[in-house]
Amino acid sequence: MNLFVSFVCTTGFEVDALEYDYSASIECLTHPLKPQYKGGIIKNPELNNGVEGWTSFGDAKIEHRESSGNKYVVAHSRKKAYDSVSQNIQIEKDKHYTLSAWIQVSKGNVLVTAFVKTRTGSKFGGAIFAETNCWSMLKGGFTAEESGPAELYFEGNDTSVDIWIDSVSLQPFTEKEWSSHQDQSIEKIRKRKVLIQALNEEGKPLANANVSFALKKLGFPFGSSMNKYILNNKLYQNWFTSRFTVTTFENEMKWYSTEAVKGKVDYTTADAMLQFAKQHNIEVRGHNVFWDDPHYQPSWVPSLSPTQLSSAVEERVKSVVSKYKGKLISWDVVNENMHFSFYESKLGKTFSGKIFNEVHKIDGQTTLFLNDYNTIEEISDGESSPARYLQKIKQIQSYAGNRGIPMGIGLESHFSHAINFPYMRSSLDYLGATRLPIWITELDVASQPRQLQYFELALKEAHSHPMVRGIVMWTAWSPQGCYKLCLVDNNFKNLPAGNVVDKFISQWKSNKLSGVTDKNGFLEITLFHGDYEMEILHPNQKNNTFTQILKVTPSDKSNQTQPLVKLQIK
């Protein structure tokens, strides 16, 4: 019997909701793009009808202008940060709002922030560093906590600049619609239709053949951090390896762990953990080469002179990167250096770019990550906002020799409060416009009334985003307890958060991964990307059961068919 297997890409997933627009721009353009959703609930979004619908906010004066055929509004004569332009809107409680606008300023490079003023306060909408002579896209969002009148306005702390506004959009979505976006995206980006035709030895269609698929390895990397306690705990090992395909060592690869005493480098624990991971086909993220937080340096490092520190840094890079060259899927090169600057303060502002360069020279095929927190978690943390994050990426890339090195975006995702899902999604949109791979690297949710619900929703939001390439949770078990979120008890029985994880994993291990070929020998089925063991059973064949490993991979082009896989049974 001959079995022919071909693949057809999924073309989409029909839903009733308005499709979410994941696009964003990080380029400063001569002309702004059209407003998303045709402006949504915003009146006169392109300012083609003068300032209709728009009013002055604070003491600013507003003026309608036109340049090269493009019409926009300008807020000038500003005295306070919030003196700008605004529009009255109506919002509905619990709806998710996605916001976008194109901003320009009269001089310099200025942070401009969008807010929505309600009866009870102001909600952060998003922020962008606007420039002069070109337009920058601000993308953000919020969830309404009340219904009623509100006012969209913009702020800029530098009151000496005029703020130009154009192509504004504010689009509401219900929770059901928001969830449908996730389902639609998962169908489109994480799955592929597989078309199978079974033929007998004469090349004729084989009808009524039973075909089943068992997932052996998931194509999307999903995992948890782990620590040294896994090495001697069989229960821990069994629980972990039955679920995850990727991990990050909690502390064991960090400098303070591998060289607690100057000159005495010890990789014994990290080596054992790496060997364990490899034995179970679990990929490892390298965490980390350096950590910029002054509180987490080897005890002997802070007292070093700049010259001594520079030498120690060089030795650290050569030591750890050379040792694990080619053995890791990524490196967190300089951890949390948007919030801290231990090395920059002693060795100069180009430290990050230099270290990325040196790591790349040693381990040229491994993706190098900028890893930090609060980029998608905390709207009030301006240090690591998406706009700041992009600035840092450009700074690293601008270092001599760094152009074109493989870089990645590491978003820790330690959620401390209620999750602003429109802001999370829009931030991923904006950073995704870099076309660099995005990983959720340390996901957890702090204790709060809706902790488990937020945890489950955050996993789905991340998994459904087109630019997210993997998820690692910061949920390592230890006898002393977990960081913020425990998945299991000390007997490795699932706690409620562990049940959330198993529910999340279950989507990939559906019981419906089987079917029967039609009269022409065809079977079409949609599968998540990954490696499957395919079993074909036909009662009328002499050797009636056949198996083959099947790889279902993403496609860069719609409807692109994978090369034909042929199985010949003699």
pLDDT tens, the chain, 570 aa long: 444 444 444 434 444 669 999 999 999 999 999 999 999 999 999 999 999 999 999 999 999 999 999 999 999 999 999 999 999 999 999 999 999 999 999 999 999 999 999 999 999 999 999 999 999 999 999 999 999 999 999 999 999 999 999 999 999 999 999 999 999 999 999 999 888 888 877 788 888 888 899 999 999 999 999 999 999 999 999 999 999 999 999 999 999 999 999 999 999 999 999 999 999 999 999 999 999 999 999 999 999 999 999 999 999 999 999 999 999 999 999 999 999 999 999 999 999 999 999 999 999 999 999 999 999 999 989 999 999 999 999 999 999 999 999 999 999 999 999 999 999 999 999 999 999 999 999 999 999 999 999 999 999 999 999 999 999 999 999 998 889 999 999 999 999 999 999 999 999 987 678 899 999 888 988 899 999 998 888 877 666 677 888 999 987 654 444 444 444 343
Please provide the distance, in angstroms rounded to a whole number, between the alpha carbons at the two ends of the chain.
Answer: 7
Domain extents for the chain? Answer: 36-173, 182-215+530-568, 216-509
- The residue annotated as part of the active site, out of 250, 377, 442, 461, is 442
Report pLDDT digits (tens) over 487-513. Answer: 999 999 999 999 999 999 999 987 678
Known catalytic residue: 442? yes
* Answer CATH for 36-173 from 3.30.420.40, 3.30.1330.60, 3.50.50.60, 2.60.120.260: 2.60.120.260
Q: 564 exposed, middle or buried (CB, 10 Å; 0-12, 13-18, 19+)?
A: exposed
Q: Residue 429 in contact with residue 185, Cβ under 8 Å?
A: no
Q: Is the pTM of this model over 0.85?
A: yes
- The residue annotated as part of the active site, out of 336, 378, 412, 461, is 336
CA dist 555 and 27 (Å) reads: 27
What tokens were used for 91? 């919002």
Cis peptide before 288 (omega within 30 of 0): yes
Q: How many CB atoms lie within 10 A of CB 479?
A: 7
At residue 537, the pLDDT reads 84
At residue 183, the pLDDT reads 96
Q: 147 exposed, middle or buried (CB, 10 Å; 0-12, 13-18, 19+)?
A: middle
At residue 556, the pLDDT reads 65
Report pLDDT digits (tens) over 465-477. Answer: 999 999 999 999 9
β-pair partners for 524: 195
At residue 542, the pLDDT reads 61
At residue 138, the pLDDT reads 98
What tokens were used for 35? 């407003």
Q: Residue 546 in contact with residue 567, Cβ under 8 Å?
A: yes
CA dist 109 and 158 (Å) reads: 10
Instruction: Please give the DSSP secondary-structure letter assigned to residue 433.
Output: T
At residue 512, the pLDDT reads 72
DSSP of 89-152:
EEE-TT-EEEEEEEEEESSSEEEEEEEEE-SS-EEEEEEEEEESSSBEEEEEEEE-SS-EEEEE
> What is the side-by-side strand order in the sheet with 545-552?
514-516, 210-218, 530-537, 545-552
12 half-sphere exposure, CB direction, 13 A CA radius: 4
CATH number assigned to the domain covering 182-215+530-568: 2.60.40
β-pair partners for 151: 88, 117
Q: Residue 22 in contact with residue 48, Cβ under 8 Å?
A: no
* Answer CATH for 216-509 from 3.20.20.80, 3.40.50.1220, 3.40.980.10, 3.40.50.450: 3.20.20.80
At residue 199, the pLDDT reads 80
Q: Residue 424 in contact with residue 463, Cβ under 8 Å?
A: no
DSSP of 453-492:
HHHHHHHHHHHHSTTEEEEEE-----TT--SS--SB-TT-
CA dist 311 and 100 (Å) reads: 47
Strands annotated E in 157-265: 163-173, 191-199, 210-218, 222-226, 246-249
What tokens were used for 338? 């948007």
Q: 423 exposed, middle or buried (CB, 10 Å; 0-12, 13-18, 19+)?
A: buried
Known catalytic residue: 66? no
- Pairing between β-strand 210-218 and β-strand 222-226 as defined by DSSP bridges: unpaired
CA dist 375 and 442 (Å) reads: 12
